[in-house]
Structure 1
Amino acid sequence: MSVRLHALLTLCLTFTQGGCTYFNNHWGEWNDSQLQPTIQKLMKGYNRYLRPNFNGGPVEIGMSLDIASIDAVSEINMDYTATIFLRQRWRDSRLVFPGNESVSVDGRLVSLLWIPDTFIPDSKRSFLHDVTVENRLIRIFSNGTVLYALRITATIACNMDLTKYPMDRQVCTLQLESWGYNLQDVVFYWTRGNDSVKGLDILRLAQYSVESYYTSVSEAVYETGQYPKLVLHFALRRNVLFFILETYVPSILLVVLSWVSFWISQSSVPARTCIGVTTVLTMTTLMMGARTSLPNANCFIKAIDVYLGICFTFIFGALVEYAYAHFYTVKHHTIEDLHRELRRELNEYNWNGSILSSTQPNRSVETFPPAEEPADRQADSGARSDAGAEEPASSGGAGGLQSVKDASRRVASVFVVENPHDIDRRARTVFPAAFLVINVLYWLYYLFL
């Protein structure tokens, strides 16, 4: 019984091994028969270290871009982060095969082929997406044309002019160059001109809108030679509505709030001082908040800095106006008190004098000058009038000097305050009118010039 069981097990193992061997050999033959005309045959004698047309002219490489997204535009670092689909096409005569079909190759086989050494010269950081595998595409056409596509996210430098921030317009570029092959080896060109770039028309950004874009072909000149270069230029217009709601409108409201003090009595010192100090501190906080998203150390005087400076000047001017008005109010009260005191003393003196005159009627007091004095005064005044008549004749420049003195007196009289309450009345008109005029000039300059 045991002998029969042993023989049965041996027979089963023999059939099993034979079946496995048969299927393994059949799978291997099927693999070889399918891969032979495409990969193994094309790779036979292929040297990926030599470019196509190695002994001939340069390789012409056509490029096209799809802009998937522009994630962030940073004014502090002066760069932008973009995700792009880069497609490159070139013809390699070593990869020609019969037929009119194309072969899509696994992206992991890119190490078997020659590919251009394209790079982004202004890139600060970049990486190739690799989920779930590296995002590469290789497609070989029957005439030897190779399509190589990949998805890249790169942070690219962009020199910005922030003079008109936030009404600015920035022109950024995306450059593509060859790292090691010069113009004798490789030539770059856009496959369809401006139509080679897709995605910018439908792109939606948080603070910007794409105004225009165009492509160009140029050369990069370095110490080691001249290299091919493709450039994508695109203009970004900043959306100013966000800044109007966040910065400009609060600034205007603070300026208007500072004018409320012009309608408050000058005797209410705590109320007017509180409004002035509160608006100044709030404006200072608003100015600091507007600078958080901007470079700290730069030579730009931005449009928003100019406007916030104007608003701060008006708010501070309202506080100074109250100090000026309060000073003249105190001075006016002091003069009135002095006049009142003098009138009181004069009344007391007159009252005492009348009492003395009534008690001493026989005492006389000489209050008039001698009779000869009027004649002397008339003679003196006549002499002065004659001298005054002769003075213009003798000196022609005295009249001009007198006119200058009169003009200076008129100018000085403007600043002489007779009634301190007139300061607030004038401020109610001067401050809003000046602020309106400056706003018109500001918006005309930064929006249309």
Structure 2
Amino acid sequence: MIIAILFLLPVVYAPSDDVIINRPLNRVEFSDLLLEYNFNYADEPTNAIEVNVALNVEQAKWSLGYSKELILVVELYESWRDSRLTFSGESSVTVPRGAVLWMPDTYFVNTLDTYWQPQSSLRLRYDGTIFRKRRVKATIPCDFDLKLLLQNEYTNCTLVLGSFDNAGAASLTYRITDVSFPSDVEHTVKFVSDYANTTTTVHAFNGETLSRSTVIFSVDVSELLLSRWMNEKNEF
């Protein structure tokens, strides 16, 4: 009888330790951040958007055969600001794959062949700055003037990039901030100087005014000329 009464008495459990839940710092809920976000348009669709661009030339080699072309493998870094995506904190976070953001329709204008490799990433900084990193293999034209080659032993190879159609913005302006050449690239193609770049505008047939940024690489071709002369296989 006593045992039965003890089973009927209420039991109170006293926790021995506090429950601790670990949460990641600077966590961003993209479902909330993108609740009323329209990815078809830039931050201010009626204003010009500035896109900063940096290029890291990972590999470089002359194309086979009639070598007026230079093949580059480049890491392309782009950044722009979207004030709709600001969040509290002082850090940056990786944008999840499923999140759809407005992004500039960047392309290479003058490449003879372009292959965008699958590697890419997006990061978002607390102030709304978006950083996009992509990897691309591109074949660019070079100016092979025989008289200049014999005098200077270098040539200029040109890469032009810009917006395809100002998608979602009044206009897109590109600014080249840096071009780097890792030391191992010099084993295959020797770049005489770093680079030079200019920005121009063109008027498309559909009425759009498009920004174009041109990067000019000065490349040493003395070894290439010597190889051609020794082999006597191709003419410039």
TM-score, normalised to structure 1, is 0.42
Residues 385-436 of structure 1 show CA distances to partners (whole Å, capped at 9, x for unaligned) of xxxxxxxxxxxxxxxxxxxxxxxxxxxxxxxxxxxxxxxxxxxxxxxxxxxx
1:71: Cα distance to partner?
Answer: 2.5
CA RMSD of aligned residues (A): 3.2
Q: Alpha carbons of 1:38 and 1:238: their partners in 2 closer, same or farther (altered >3 Å)?
A: same
Structure 2 partner of 1:44: 35
Q: State whether residues 86 and 149 of structure 1, in contact with CA within 8 Å, keep that contact through their aligned partners in structure 2.
A: yes
Shift of residue 100 of structure 1?
A: 1.2
Residue 170 (structure 1) aligned with residue 159 (structure 2): no
Which residue of structure 2 aligns with residue 211 of structure 1?
Answer: 192
Question: Cα offset for 1:160?
Answer: 2.1
**1:119 counterpart = 2:73:** no
Q: Where does residue 129 of structure 1 map in the other structure?
A: 117
Tell whether 2:180 aligns with 1:239. Answer: no
Q: 1:148 Cα shift? A: 0.7
Query: Cα 1:244–1:234, aligned 2, differ >3 Å: closer, same or farther?
Result: closer
Structure 1 gaps of 5+ residues are 1-29, 248-288, 296-449
What's the TM-score, normalizing by structure 2? 0.76
Structure 1 residue 215: deviation in Å? Answer: 2.1
State how 1:232-271 maps to structure 2 within 5 Å: 232-240=215-223, 243=226, 247=230
User: Does the alignment pair 1:186 with 2:172?
Assistant: yes
Judging by fraction of residues, say which structure has more helix.
Answer: 1
Paired residue for 1:76?
66
Report how many aligned residue pairs link the two structures. Answer: 211
Give the equivalent residue in structure 2 for 1:141: 125
174-183 or 96-105: which moved more? 174-183
Distance 1:114 1:184, change over 3 A: closer
| Secondary structure of residue in 2 paired with 1:204 | helix
Identity of paired residues, percent? Answer: 21
Measure how far apart 1:127 and its partner are: 1.6
Structure 2: 5+ residue runs without aligned partners? 1-21
SS of aligned partner of 1:94: helix
Residue 113 of structure 1 aligns to a residue whose secondary structure is coil
Determine whether 1:91 maps to 2:81. Answer: yes
| Contact 1:58–1:185, Cα closer than 8 Å, also in 2 | yes
How far apart, CA to CA, are the structure 2 residues paired with 1:177 and 1:139?
Answer: 21
Tell me if structure 2 keeps the 8 A contact 1:128–1:152.
yes
Deviation at 1:121, TM superposition (A): 0.8
Query: Does the 8 A contact of 1:170 with 1:236 survive in 2?
Result: yes
Q: 1:72 deviation in Å?
A: 2.2
* SS of corresponding position for 1:203: helix
Larger Rg: 1
Deviations 1:254-305 (A, max 9, x none): xxxxxxxxxxxxxxxxxxxxxxxxxxxxxxxxxxx51x2335xxxxxxxxxx
* Contact residue 70 and residue 205 of structure 1 kept, 8 A: no
Higher relative contact order (CA 8 A, sep 6+): 2
Following TM superposition, by how much is the alpha carbon of 1:205 offset from its aligned partner in structure 2, in angstroms? 4.5
In 2, the alpha carbon distance for the partners of 1:84 and 1:240 equals 23
> Aligned in 2, Cα 1:219/1:201: closer, same or farther, shift over 3 Å?
farther
Q: Does 1:155 align with 2:139?
A: yes
